[in-house]
Structures are given as structure tokens and as C-alpha cells.
Structure 1
């Protein structure tokens, strides 16, 4: 195991701080390291592995398509993209989609679409379009996206940044309305902030935002790269508020845990601003991605994974809340997207995740205060109960007192 860790540290830029485990194989909700030890995956690659590792049906779709045609380029039509986008659009109730690869690419696409819609349809003066975002947001790592992040580390050393973004507090609809000007073209929001610490807004927040955006002719764009496709117990997290966004960003789970697949979907007048040559992607919408994406959407429906996420999420949420350990500050979430907030002075989240790993459960912290629990949606009651028992035993192993000045050392 140490050999692989040493090689990665030697040849890979240190842009991650992984837990000291070297994974070799995955099946369903389980992972195995190079020494054969088994772990319950309670993270599912930030929701990218919603269908579990190496799902036989998705692997079959991937391999069968790879034998036929993988990457011909969007310079030509393929027999896979149309059926995939038809399934995607009808599933989420949007008329058109623009396929990309990563979530960040889809967010960039959404920003381009919103700005051009603002100039061509709404009539905003050239170069003056504004997009409202929320404090604590996370939409990716491109220079445009980190430019509107409120996390200092994500911005440090990467400027200058693009202008045209206005930040408001998350969960505060009144602040959104106050920030809107005649130049505002869109409000880009995560229904639940994932990287921000599994932050759930007040009930009715998105419904209020929908009303505000409609009244001011501003596009409501929901970034559901992490929360979409069943993760929160509904098809989309925005469904909990009973609203329909003007634009929708999907990714992660759309690739079935096998390859990057993302898309920006929007209403007709927003998509109509694009002309040939305006935007593109060498790999976006390729037959391989289309085949897997379509199979993933079919699987989501047939196995009723949104409903499973709701049921298993409630079991996990209630089990965590019943722990009542002094190191626990809060337990929050929706469906199978749950955050366990710990007091970093008593038990830093990184230390807790290392202990969980040793006990056979894999997860990861955010900001050294919140442990994420977002297992594959196929998880069952026995695995949930195993996770809860392991978490309880790990908490009972004792806390670690950390001087305030040393908090930054544990990352």
C-alpha cells in the first residue's frame, strides 16, 4: 500500500489530501483496498457513483458501445446522442439540453447561456450582464467559477477573475431580491450546498426565489450536479419546493459512476441563443457517454432509486440524530445527502474520517467540521445500520482536544 501512496505523492501535484487508503476494486456499495480489506462507501465520489460501483447493466452499456463507436466528434451525428437527450429532457421536463462532460463545464455553459440570453432576449447592454450567486457556493474549479467563490483558498493565487457576479447569503430570498438590478440575467443556486457543508435552506426558499426571478425576468438556474437524479429523495432537489427552474445543471450521477457526463438544460428561448460555433466540446455528447447516460436514467426510474434514497436517507438521518454525542453540533440533510457537523475542538472531522476508515467506512470531511454521508442510492437497511453502528463506535472511541491555534494544521 505504501508503494502506491509514495508513487502518487512523487508524481502527482498535491491538489488533494487523500485518506491513507489505496483502493483497488468496487462492487455495489463496497470498496476493497489493495490488501483485500473491505469498506462501505459512504461518499460515492461526491454523488457520481449513485448507482453503485460497477453496476452490471451500466458496465454492459459501456462495453457494448465501446465495441461499436466511442468518440466520433460532434462534427457528425450519431445514433446515440438523440435518444439520450430525449430521455434526459423528458425525464426532467426540459425541452432542450446541451451535453458536456464535467459539472464545471456544464456550469460554464449555463453562465454563457444566461449572459447571451440577457443580451439577445432581455436587452441588457453589452458587457453588463450580472449573475447572482450565493455565499458558500461550489460549482467547480475553473477560473471563472472560483472567481465567484467565497472560499478564500479556492481563489488564492488564481486571479484576476471575471467580473459580473454578485454574492448574496444562501437561504435569504429577500437578499436575492435586493441584489437584482435591470442588468441581472440569472440567479445560479444549489438547492442544497454540498461542498459548503450540506447546508439545507429554509423551507420554501426556492419557491420564493422562483417567484422573485419570475417577477424580475431573471433566469433561475439550479445547479443540481450533486443534488440531482435522486440524491435527495426526489428526482431533483428543486422538486421538494415544487418549482421548475429556467435552467438546470446536471452531472456526476449522469455518468453512472463510469465516466464524466454532464448537461445544461433550459427552456427554449434560452437554448435558442446558441448558434453553430458559439460553444462546443470535443467529448461532450459522445456515443459512449450517451449510451451510459441513457442507461443510468433508465435504471434510476426502474429501480425507483429516488424513493430508496428517501427511505434510506430517513433511516440514516434519524439514526445519526439519535447518537446525541457531545462532539456532534448538528445533523442535517435530505435524502442520502447528509452532513454530520462536529466540534473541531473536540473531534476534527479529518480525524473522525481517518478513524472511520480504520473501522471499514469511507467518507470525507469538508472544512474540517462536517463529515459527508452520501452513499450509493442502492444502499439497503443492513448497510445503513452497519454504517450507524460503526459511526457510534467510532464516536465512543473518544474525542481529541485541539488547541484553537492548531486547527489549521489538520486538513
Structure 2
């Protein structure tokens, strides 16, 4: 059995004020003697960022929005904590040598700092979907070249990662990701089409950011996770599947060639997969309430309905097509979700817009495989341009 090192693990947290960041901070503060926090990075919530920096005794605090630099500096005056702002500062913070980095900056904004951490090496706890959905091949190639160890934070991928320890890669027959089904699991196709943001934001199990919650309601989130799984576990679509599991107890399942099945079960608490990554390769003790299967009582499973939830079908098709299709899919979906949240698009308009953008991008010859992270970001910008031009009403804030 591997023992926990007596030397503190050096840590950087990218996206410290988001939901994943907050859970990470909770774990770090539970045993502060085990961690030496180098840097904390956030988008624009300078108050929460400054509080986290002080609590964690970080050496550096970085806010993405340059306009918030002075406010952060004022909040940290006299603390001895270095302050910086802007994209370059985020990348520099991520490049600082540490043992472990949490990559939890949401959206494409997280791509550059996370890839900077990958190029430096070490362990990267990956919670940013865009790194793999937008630039999966390039991202994983960079990780292989630098020797960085990518640890999946999503509860589904983390469960699969643990289940895969039961055998060899060539013995896997199927990897199955579970989905809660979201708030519309039992709704008719017609009712789903008329759903409002307030309906879609009522997730039955998880507390997440608005964008991810909408993606969960459409099952696009599960489609994006299939694309992530393809890159993380080096398997094709033929070995990937989705099951709807409303209790959110079983997070991932691996079917083996001999008929055996190994599943990852855990409470619906993101501190569980984060702790697995934070302590890797040893397990940490946490204050998470243990899973009580007797209290859960019943576990049910059902196939995902791609007729009622066409976003999942579109994501599978993009994965099958490969190249730049997943990049375009993700960018178009972000614009579509933003439009829906601003009441500028019906819920059924989300997959409709994504499909339109994919078709237009193909027509413009844009759906080619990104050879680098910069290529992926350029394609992302082009796809967003097409998506915005395809909207009947402009939106105030693109995600």
C-alpha cells in the first residue's frame, strides 16, 4: 500500500471560486498541513478569490479580468500575497512548478492556462471539458510529451478511471457513463420543447453552474462526456454508451470481455472524485457522508432517449465524424445555451442551432482536425461567429 508522503504537496487551483474550486478548497482546508498552495486563479469574483487566497495561504492570486486588478490588490494589501490579472498572468500562474493542479476554469477560457500546466508536467486534475472536447488530440499529445498525468475529475470519468483498474485495456468490452436524466427525464418531447430556463435549471441531483445544468437537462453534457471519455480512455464510440440512472449513485460502469461488470458507486458529492485526484495515488479520508445503499433502496437504469434528447445524438455524430466536429459542436452549444438563458431561443432550439452550425461549418470547409490548442481556439471562434449569425435575436453575453 502506498503511504501518504509527509512532505506537503504543492498545489495550484485554477477556477478556485467555481463549484469545483469551492469543493477543492474545502478538502485543502480540511488538512492544510498536507498542502502548500502556490497559486489560486478566478474569473472575476475578487472577494471570494481574496478570501480563498488568505485561507489557503497562497503565494499568488490571479483574476482573469484585468479591470479587477486594483480591487484584488486592495483586498490583499498587507497579506504578502502576490497579485496579478489577465490571460498572460493566468498562464504564468499555471506554469509555476507544482505537484498538482486543479484545472477547473470553465469554458474555453480555461484552455490556455490548463495547457500551460500540462506543458509544465505534474498531475493535472481535469475538470474543464473544453480541453478534451475542443482540443482533445492536441491536449493529450501535449500531456504525453511533457509526462503530465491527467486525472479526470468528472464523477463519471473518475468512476471509470477507478473501475478500469480491475483489468487490462484490451479486455474492456464497453464503457458506460450514467446520466441522471436531468429535470426532463419523464417529460414528453412536446413539453421539453416548451421548457423555460427556470425549469431546466432545476437539476434533481447535482448543484452546478448554469451552463452545465442546462447541458444536463438537454443531455448534451453526457454527449460531451462521451467525447472526453474517447480521449481519456482511448476508446471509440463503439465501446462507449450512456445509461440514464436517476438515483446518481452509479457513476460509471465497465463491462469486461469475460462478462464481468465493475461499477463505480459514490454519493452525489464532487468532493469524492476531487479527493481521489488530490490524494492520488493514495486515498484520502474525507468528511463526505458515506453512501448508504440500504437507505437508497432501489437503483434503476433506462436507455437514453435520443429522440426526446437530440443533443446526445448530435454529440455522438460529432464524435464519430471526428476532426473539428466536436470543437464546432461545443462552441455552437455554448452560444445556444446562452441564447436560451436570455429567452432568445426555445429549449428545442438548442440542438437545432447546434445542428445548423455544424452543417454550415462543414459547408465552409471548417471542420478539420485542430493540430494545436491555438487551432482549436481559432475553430471555436469561427463556430461561434456562425452560431451568432444564425440567431434571430442577438445575445448580450456569450458563455
What's the TM-score, normalizing by structure 1? 0.33
Larger helix fraction of residues: 2
Q: Which has the higher contact order (CA 8 A, sep 6+)?
A: 1
